[in-house]
Chains A and B, each alone.
Chain A
Amino acid sequence: MFKILEAEQLSANVYKQVILAPRVAKSCEPGQFIILRVDEHGERIPLTICDYDREAGTVTIVFQPIGVSTNKLVALKAGDSIADFVGPLGHPSDLVTDDFEEVKKKKVVFIAGGVGTAPVYPQAKWLHEHGIECDIIVGARTKDILIMEEEMSKVGNLYLCTDDGSYGFKGVGTAMLEKLVSEGHHYDLCVAIGPMIMMKFACLTTKKLGIPTVVSMNPIMVDGTGMCGACRVMVGDEVKFACVDGPEFDGHKIDFDQAMKRAAMYKTEEGRRFLAFKEGATHHGGCGNCGGDK
């Protein structure tokens, strides 16, 4: 069992938890993820690492309740435990593993979308701690779902955007990037992390602007160790397993349309289970699946 030390609501629909997991905290690096299982009947879900404290033995995760597992997780408080927490999984970010002298020469811009802000944070923080300045564009639909503004502003030059203009720049993150480039900013690398649709459009923009772009893929996963291939993505002509070959890939080579269709593979199945979870004993086929006679 893994103890939750802190549980906090960050915005209208985003939550943060600090988990005691000394082995993971000791070995994880920015860009990697974990898999957790809330309870004995739970499924295994992947979440990107948002922060870690090697001394305290803790790992921070940030998530949005969307289905059964994340809703079960949100219901837990500090002091509660989850059944399983395993990692770190996947490769660390290239920024961390590549030759430092080369990384130092690069001007990096991050584009974070929604809950994707969380995995951007440890990368920007790592650069900041190593004396490298970066620009960070954080986008959200509205002001009340923006997260981690304070933390982010400490590790890079922060540009906030909201779709409705309720805070910061009015428009999506890529529009902000185009604006920055038109104002004379030059970037050697863009790291875009967020919902698949946002990463797709970020890549279309950066391709046009000629900026090499790395994305962090978030396909369906089961084990996260390369033994099943549920997380297969097409990268150029090659089939890759996001859990072991990624999760970060060259965004200009990803087949996002297929990745989005694969992500929706269990949509009805998930919806059905979520309804059953929400309605509990009162669930009488509201999903239309069992005809109400079960």
Chain B
Amino acid sequence: MAQGLTRVPVREQNPKVRATNFEEVCYGYNKEEAVEEAKRCLGCKKPKCVEGCPVSINIPEFIAAVKEEKFDEAFKIISQSSALPAVCGRVCPQESQCEGKCVRGIKGDPVAIGKLERFVADWARENGIKPEAPAEKNGKKVAVIGSGPSGLTCAGDLAKLGYDVTIFEALHKAGGVLVYGIPEFRLPKDRVVGPEVENVKSLGVKIETDVIIGKTVTIDELIENEGFDAVFIGSGAGLPKFMGIPGETACGVLSANEFLTRNNLMKAFDESYDTPIVHGKKVVVVGGGNVAMDAARTALRLGGETHIVYRRSEEELPARKEEVHHAKEEGIIFDLLTNPVEIIVDENDWVKGVKCIKMELGEPDASGRRRPVEVPGSEFVIDCDTVVMSLGTSPNPLISSTTKGLEINKRKCIVATEDTGATSKEGVYAGGDAVTGAATVILAMGAGKAAAKGIHEYLSQK
């Protein structure tokens, strides 16, 4: 193959070994590898990659700095646009964003933008480089609800503009899905997420954990009694969906949110933590998204034979290709074109199997995907002792139901303008999964960025 067509490969943990531990799968580039990969960037005048990035990082410029081994300069360039580069470099679906637009990708591999971003962020952390705090405060207070990707981004941007920002988080740890949802082996908590949150705090952002907006205090009270001039809602989409099939409340049936929260946030896989987890001997994960892959790979690491049950075919799996590939390498079994119809339980109300029906693909539906249709009489039972339901999530109605004048749509999502995040209530902005329903980390960050701009414009005129 001609030189420059293939990307510098990234070192990974051996699949057989990593299937038994919670260490990070991908080791990332070292200095030499990063510089070599950076040399593949053509430094386009009109860079398509930047268009593909929801927070518009100046990609050619930071890669040029990497090429010249000016890593601190590269970090500064990324930090102008992103507050969470070590996270995004790891979990963004680059193939459909920046890397999907890279001209190198037309003939050969696109430049490994995500891995380079990750390298720069990891290098900055290891060398103690932090983003710079603003010189002056402007005396205005903004409350940010939720410390997930949208909230952290919005808070970081507002702090850089001189606002006095407080993030309110319901859980005991900041990070949202970064700490409770995405597993340790894809996104290390103490090593990567923790320092990234600390970076946002070093910009002057205060984080108050253990505060549930809508219960502990309402948005109206924050504005009326605590002197906040504006509010950003980044409360995400955290309510799990269940199938509504018989037997779903049996012992051993968990939502992916519960299963992952026990493992990631509560560290149930580690004996020195108090939270227990079911170590299933044979686990069925229902669903085909990234969360399903995370749950399945977690169950596998806890020692169980793990199956993914999905009603469409491999082609339609909504999960990232890389995640599906990793799951297969580790030994996850895919039962495709299969849909559960009933959970079968034993005399103690524990799961002993899932009754499934075979599916075939019919005509494309409104979303353009071929609709799965049941094959009559094809029911069969998969024996198992644990079932993890990973069917998606929806926004929690707690905030919308306790805030006067906040409009929501029929999917319980908060209605907000895309470019400014403005909601139907003056001074209240929203973004991320709370507005769009479950989407990606980087889209939530983009929305947090847009809302920070919207809030700044609003408060500047006030």
Residues of A within 8 A of B (CB): 23-24, 26-27, 37, 41-44, 68-69, 72, 83-89, 222-223, 225-230, 232-234, 239, 244, 258, 261-262, 264-266, 269-270, 273, 276-277
6 pairs across A/B with beta carbons < 8 Å? A23-B217, A68-B274, A222-B275, A229-B254, A229-B255, A269-B277
With A41-B273, A84-B172, A258-B349 in contact, do A230 and B258 touch (Cβ < 8 Å)?
Answer: yes
Does B271 interact with chain A (Cβ within 8 Å)? yes
Q: Which 3 A-B pairs have the closest CB atoms?
A: A228-B258, A269-B276, A227-B238
Roughly how many angstroms separate A222 CA and B212 CA in the complex, as a whole number?
15
Contact check, A229 vs B276: say whether CB atoms are below 8 A apart: no
Contact check, A273 vs B276: say whether CB atoms are below 8 A apart: yes
12 A-B pairs besides A84-B210, A227-B396 with CB distance below 8 A are A23-B217, A27-B216, A86-B210, A222-B258, A225-B170, A227-B239, A227-B261, A228-B240, A230-B254, A273-B274, A273-B276, A276-B271
Roughly how many angstroms separate A229 CA and B348 CA in the complex, as a whole number?
20
With A41-B273, A68-B274 in contact, do A89 and B215 touch (Cβ < 8 Å)?
Answer: yes
Contact check, B273 vs A226: say whether CB atoms are below 8 A apart: no
Roughly how many angstroms separate A13 CA and B348 CA in the complex, as a whole number?
30
Contact check, A239 vs B242: say whether CB atoms are below 8 A apart: yes
With A225-B398, A226-B239, A233-B249 in contact, do A42 and B212 touch (Cβ < 8 Å)?
Answer: no
Roughly how many angstroms separate A136 CA and B107 CA in the complex, as a whole number?
79
Interface string of B429-441 (1 = CB under 8 A from A): 0000000000000
Residue of A nearest to B267 (CB): A41
A258 CB contact (under 8 Å) in B170, B249, B272, B274: B249
Chain A residues with CB below 8 A from B170, complex form: 86, 223, 225
Roughly how many angstroms separate A42 CA and B276 CA in the complex, as a whole number?
11
Give B374 Cβ to nearest chain A Cβ, in Å. Answer: 23
Give B441 Cβ to nearest chain A Cβ, in Å. Answer: 17
Roughly how many angstroms separate A91 CA and B168 CA in the complex, as a whole number?
21
Contact check, A227 vs B349: say whether CB atoms are below 8 A apart: no
B275 CB contact (under 8 Å) in A43, A88, A229, A261: A43
Interface residues of chain B: helix, strand, loop or mixed (majority) = loop
Does B262 interact with chain A (Cβ within 8 Å)? yes
Give A112 Cβ to nearest chain B Cβ, in Å. Answer: 25
Contact check, B276 vs A228: say whether CB atoms are below 8 A apart: no
Chain A residues with CB below 8 A from B393, complex form: 227
Chain A residues with CB below 8 A from B239, complex form: 226-227
Give A191 Cβ to nearest chain B Cβ, in Å. Answer: 22
Chain B residues with CB below 8 A from A42, complex form: 273-274
Contact check, A228 vs B257: say whether CB atoms are below 8 A apart: yes
Contact check, B255 vs A228: say whether CB atoms are below 8 A apart: yes
A42, A229, A230, A261: residue with the most chain B Cβ atoms closer than 10 Å: A229
Residue of B nearest to A239 (CB): B249
Give A117 Cβ to nearest chain B Cβ, in Å. Answer: 25
Give A246 Cβ to nearest chain B Cβ, in Å. Answer: 14
Contact check, A27 vs B215: say whether CB atoms are below 8 A apart: yes
Contact check, A88 vs B216: say whether CB atoms are below 8 A apart: yes
Residue of B nearest to A45 (CB): B274
Chain B residues with CB below 8 A from A239, complex form: 242, 244, 248-249
Contact check, B240 vs A84: say whether CB atoms are below 8 A apart: no
Roughly how many angstroms separate A179 CA and B406 CA in the complex, as a whole number?
52
Interface string of B221-256 (1 = CB under 8 A from A): 000000000000000001110101000111110110
Contact check, A225 vs B272: say whether CB atoms are below 8 A apart: no
Chain A residues with CB below 8 A from B255, complex form: 228-230
Interface string of B323-338 (1 = CB under 8 A from A): 0000000000000000
Chain B residues with CB below 8 A from A233, complex form: 249
Chain B residues with CB below 8 A from A89, complex form: 212, 215
B349 CB contact (under 8 Å) in A27, A222, A226, A261: A261
Roughly how many angstroms separate A232 CA and B170 CA in the complex, as a whole number?
20
Residue of B nearest to A38 (CB): B274
Give A38 Cβ to nearest chain B Cβ, in Å. Answer: 8
Contact check, A265 vs B251: say whether CB atoms are below 8 A apart: yes
Does B266 interact with chain A (Cβ within 8 Å)? yes
A37, A41, A226, A228: residue with the most chain B Cβ atoms closer than 10 Å: A228
Contact check, A87 vs B266: say whether CB atoms are below 8 A apart: no
Roughly how many angstroms separate A138 CA and B348 CA in the complex, as a whole number?
31
Chain B residues with CB below 8 A from A232, complex form: 248-249
Does B209 interact with chain A (Cβ within 8 Å)? yes
Does B319 interact with chain A (Cβ within 8 Å)? no
Contact check, B257 vs A229: say whether CB atoms are below 8 A apart: yes
With A223-B171, A229-B242, A229-B258 in contact, do A27 and B217 touch (Cβ < 8 Å)?
Answer: yes
Roughly how many angstroms separate A86 CA and B393 CA in the complex, as a whole number?
23
Give A25 Cβ to nearest chain B Cβ, in Å. Answer: 10
Give B402 Cβ to nearest chain A Cβ, in Å. Answer: 11
Residue of A nearest to B396 (CB): A226
Interface string of B270-296 (1 = CB under 8 A from A): 011111111000000000000000000
B276 CB contact (under 8 Å) in A41, A227, A266: A266
Give A251 Cβ to nearest chain B Cβ, in Å. Answer: 18
Chain B residues with CB below 8 A from A230, complex form: 254-255, 258
With A24-B216, A229-B258, A239-B248 in contact, do A262 and B349 touch (Cβ < 8 Å)?
Answer: yes
- Within B143-185, the residues touching A (CB, 8 Å) are 170-172
Residue of B nearest to A85 (CB): B210
Contact check, A87 vs B215: say whether CB atoms are below 8 A apart: yes
Contact check, B261 vs A223: say whether CB atoms are below 8 A apart: yes
Contact check, A88 vs B277: say whether CB atoms are below 8 A apart: no
With A23-B216, A41-B273, A262-B249 in contact, do A86 and B172 touch (Cβ < 8 Å)?
Answer: yes
Give A253 Cβ to nearest chain B Cβ, in Å. Answer: 14
Give B372 Cβ to nearest chain A Cβ, in Å. Answer: 24
Does B211 interact with chain A (Cβ within 8 Å)? yes
Give A219 Cβ to nearest chain B Cβ, in Å. Answer: 10
Chain B residues with CB below 8 A from A276, complex form: 271
Give B192 Cβ to nearest chain A Cβ, in Å. Answer: 19
Residue of B nearest to A21 (CB): B210
Interface string of B192-226 (1 = CB under 8 A from A): 00000000000000000111100111000000000
Chain A residues with CB below 8 A from B254, complex form: 228-230
Chain B residues with CB below 8 A from A229, complex form: 240, 242, 254-255, 257-258
Roughly how many angstroms separate A244 CA and B401 CA in the complex, as a whole number?
13
Chain A residues with CB below 8 A from B251, complex form: 261-262, 264-265
Contact check, A44 vs B266: say whether CB atoms are below 8 A apart: yes
Give A111 Cβ to nearest chain B Cβ, in Å. Answer: 26
Roughly how many angstroms separate A244 CA and B93 CA in the complex, as a whole number?
33
Chain B residues with CB below 8 A from A87, complex form: 212, 215-216
Residue of A nearest to B237 (CB): A227
Chain B residues with CB below 8 A from A83, complex form: 172
Chain B residues with CB below 8 A from A86, complex form: 170, 172, 210-212, 216
Residue of B nearest to A26 (CB): B217
